[in-house]
Amino acid sequence: MGVLDFMKSAGEKVLGAATAGNTAGALLDHLKAKGLASTDLKVEYDAASATVKVNGKAGTQEDKEKVLLALGNIAGVEKVDDGIDAGQAGTPAGFYTVQPGDTLGAIAKKHYGKSGAYVQIFEANKPLLKDPDKIYPGQMLRMPVL
């Protein structure tokens, strides 16, 4: 996948909670809290370039994409350098960056032609999303193939 670009100023506040230089540990804890960390993942953070580099293995293409989004949708992260190998290949999802005023229904209508497809977008982004009404500008979402 290469390098994914994110909005550095948007996202969950994870890096500020990192203790004295343990940003990699804070990032791995963040993945664990979302149920996305595997023992095969290694994460590095370069503050100068605001880049997270992640290497290792994920069980599926979907797991890989969720790990990348979980790391990129963090305030202070501008890029995620993808070095993850997906164990079970699958059809890669598309990605969409939430704009001001967006709702999952409006995004679904724009991309799939029907606002009711917001349910599939919501499901494709669990556990990154806990509520379909709680998205924010700058957040990147997985857009499943329907």
Separation between Cα atoms, residue 117 and residue 7, nearest integer Å: 25
Q: Is the pLDDT of residue 19 over 60?
A: no
Contact 100, 61 (CB under 8 A): no
| Mean pLDDT across 27-48 | 89
Q: Residue 17's pLDDT is what?
A: 61
Are 80 and 98 in a shared domain? no
Are 62 and 29 in a shared domain? yes
Domain of 119, CATH number, reads 3.10.350.10
Separation between Cα atoms, residue 10 and residue 137, nearest integer Å: 7
102-140 pLDDT tens trace:
999 999 999 999 999 999 999 999 999 999 999 999 999
98-111 pLDDT tens trace:
999 999 999 999 99
Separation between Cα atoms, residue 27 and residue 34, nearest integer Å: 11
Are 15 and 73 in a shared domain? yes
Q: Give me the chain's average pLDDT, please.
A: 91
| Mean pLDDT across 47-56 | 94
Q: Is the pLDDT of residue 89 over 90?
A: no
Domain of 83, CATH number, reads 3.30.1340.30
Are 99 and 83 in a shared domain? no
Are 11 and 60 in a shared domain? yes
**CB proximity list for 65: less than 8 A, separation 6 or greater:** 92, 93, 142
Are 10 and 56 in a shared domain? yes
Are 6 and 62 in a shared domain? yes
Q: Is the pLDDT of residue 16 over 80?
A: no
| Mean pLDDT across 37-46 | 86
Are 108 and 122 in a shared domain? yes
- Strands 94-97 and 79-88, bridge-based pairing: unpaired
Q: Residue 134's pLDDT is what?
A: 95
Are 14 and 72 in a shared domain? yes
Domain count within the chain = 2
Q: What is the residue range of 43's domain?
A: 2-88
